[in-house]
Amino acid sequence: MAHDYSFPQELLTLPIADRISYFQQYTMAHPKLLIAAEKLKNAIDNPGFFSLIFLFGPTGVGKTTLLRRITQRLLASFHKEMELDKGFIPIANIEVATPEFSNFDWKDFYLRALGVLQDPCIQLPSYGRITNLKLKTSLEAALKHRRLKVFCLDEAQNLSKVASGRKLRDQTDCIKSLANLTQVKFVLAGTYDLLILRNLSAQLCRRSLDIHFERYKVENEEDLKAFRGVVQTFQRHLPFEEEPDLLKYWDFCYERSFGCVGILKDWLSQALATALLDGAKTLTLSHLKSSAYSHEQCMIIFNETRLGEKQLEFTPDSSALRIALGLESHHGSATHSTSQTTNTTNTKSRRSTTGNTKPQRRPVGGGENVG
Ligand SMILES: Nc1ncnc2c1ncn2[C@@H]1O[C@H](COP(=O)(O)OP(=O)(O)OP(=O)(O)O)[C@@H](O)[C@H]1O
Ligand SMILES: [Mg+2]
């Protein structure tokens, strides 16, 4: 099947390490990545309105890969401006660190952010007297001075790791105020734990945008087709003498990756290394099995993923808002439009609305600390 193979055939003459590195570096533009990338690009290009962009999805779906792709594209599109003004940085990226102790470390955050902006014009206070406020002011100045357009915070769910619900509110307020003061768009990327932050305040939601980077779901016909396409494309880029027939095992690929392309990719990289070191000409089911996540590991990751997805599946029915505002009665009739509606029915229906336990504005209950 060598004629169908998409990797550079000369790779086969190179050392094993080069072949592995080729596959590790290979990035595929698959449909779910392209959908999320398009939304992110539009939100970034849209001047003004969205100051916070939440990008969330399951672990291993490819969020970091998407940020990298967007960063490269934006840098390329501003290439000329950057040549003319060496101090201009259109986009920067940091990973929000997991706090060592249970509380989020703002000092570490500011220093990392200042580190990627490396602004020679900003005088940092001497370390001994460094305060969060001074660092925040320095960061504001650096963001403005660099004329940054977009700041991507990867693993942003770590921002929610604070000791109390009240502090959680401060976390989002702090990012929001940085965005407002500097006119920089902040992309907060992370797992579904990020929803805790995004649900926090109505004001925050008004100027924020959600982008859900989903996995492929087997119950959806189109997703299934696309996932099989992903498996086939990876198959063609695995640098073996003989093209493996991964498509034959697509359901096993799905079983241990649950439709997350990044998990599948890391798994295949591992299997490729094992097979090449074995001197194998192609990838077999036994290589796949020996490199896969165990059932237990899969169950843990999958349950966590489902939990996140379920939070997003809740959609309040369209009349919930109208009922809450008193525009509509519980039974769907407009409270003010019909002359037959008596005062008694009105009072009744309002009372029954109060007793309605359905959450009506935000799909996920926030405010609790997860850290
Ligand atoms: N479209 C893709 N094509 C090829 N490889 C990919 C693609 N998307 C992700 N990968 C690879 O899969 C692995 C996991 O992807 P990535 O780190 O982007 O996922 P993530 O969603 O950020 O995961 P986490 O939540 O654990 O941070 C990485 O090795 C990455 O290079
Ligand atoms: Mg990541």
CATH number at residue 121: 3.40.50.300
Q: Which one, of 129, 85, 92, 133, lies nearest residue 114 by Cα?
A: 92
Residues 140 and 155 in one domain: yes
Same domain, 68 and 165: yes
Q: Is the pLDDT of residue 369 over 90?
A: no
Indicate if 253 and 106 belong to the same structural domain: no
Based on the fold, state whether residues 164 and 224 are members of the same structural domain: no
Ligand 1 pocket test, pick from 64, 258, 260 with the greatest ligand atom count within 8 Å of Cβ, gives: 64
Any domain includes 184: yes
Bridge-partner residues for 92, per DSSP?
A: 151
Which of helix, strand or coil describes residue 3? helix
Mean pLDDT of 37-41: 96
Please tell me the distance from the alpha carbon of residue 158 to that of residue 260, in angstroms, as a whole number.
21
The answer to whether the CB of 305 is under 6 A from ligand 1 is no
CB 67 less than 6 A from any atom of ligand 1: no
62 Cβ closer than 6 Å to some ligand 1 atom? yes
Instruction: Give the Å distance between the CA of 93 and the centre of ligand 1.
Output: 16
pLDDT score at 348: 39
Same domain, 162 and 203: yes
Measured between alpha carbons, how far is 58 from 56 in angstroms, rounded to an integer?
7
Atom of ligand 1 nearest to the CA of 25: 31
> In total, how many domains does the chain have?
3
CA of 279 to the centre of ligand 2 (A): 32
Long-range CB pairs of 142-145 (<8 Å, 24+ gap) are 142/113, 142/114, 142/117, 143/117, 143/178, 143/182, 143/184, 144/182, 145/87, 145/119, 145/121
Instruction: Give the atom of ligand 1 at the shortest distance from the alpha carbon of 264.
Output: 12
Q: Is 190 in the pocket of ligand 1 (CB under 6 A)?
A: no
Same-domain check for residues 208 and 230:
no
Residue whose CA is at the smallest distance from ligand 1 atom 1:
28
- Residue 291 half-sphere exposure toward CB, CA atoms < 13 A: 21
| Interval between CA 166 and ligand 1 midpoint (Å) | 33
Residue 35 lies in a domain: no
Which of 46, 100, 369 minimizes the C-alpha distance to 211? 46
98 φ/ψ angles, rounded to the nearest 5 degrees: -70, 130
Any ligand 1 atom below 6 A from CB of 65: yes
For residues 139-151, give the mean pLDDT.
95
Residues linked to residue 210 through DSSP beta bridges, in sequence order: 54
Give the torsion sign (CA, 291, 297, 302, 305): negative
Give the C-alpha separation, 170 to 101, whole Å. Answer: 18
Q: Are residues 99 and 198 in the same domain?
A: yes
Nearest 5°: the CA angle 343, 345, 349 is 120
Residue 359: inside a domain, yes or no? no
Q: Are residues 198 and 243 in the same domain?
A: no
Band the pLDDT of 119: cuts 50, 70, 90. Answer: confident
Which residue has a Cα nearest atom 11 of ligand 1? 262
Same domain, 183 and 247: no
Contact 213, 32 (CB under 8 A): yes
Going by alpha carbons, the residue nearest to atom 18 of ligand 1 is 62
**Do 226 and 141 have their domain in common?**
no
What percent of the chain is predicted at pLDDT more than 90? 63
Closest-CA residue, ligand 1 atom 16, reads: 62
Q: pLDDT tens digits, residue range 294-352? A: 999 999 999 999 999 999 887 667 777 788 788 887 666 666 554 444 443 443 343 34
| pLDDT at residue 362 greater than cutoff 70 | no
Render pLDDT for 206-217 as a digit per residue (tens, 0 to 9): 778 999 999 999
Q: Is 241 within 8 Å of 282 (Cβ atoms)?
A: yes
Question: Does one domain contain both 24 and 152?
Answer: no
Half-sphere exposure for 56 (CA within 13 Å, toward CB): 21
**Does one domain contain both 291 and 324?**
no
With a 6 A CB cut-off, is 272 part of the ligand 1 pocket? no
- Domain containing 334 equals 319-354
Q: What is the CA radius of gyration of the chain?
A: 25
Q: Is 225 a domain residue? A: yes
What pLDDT does residue 204 have?
63
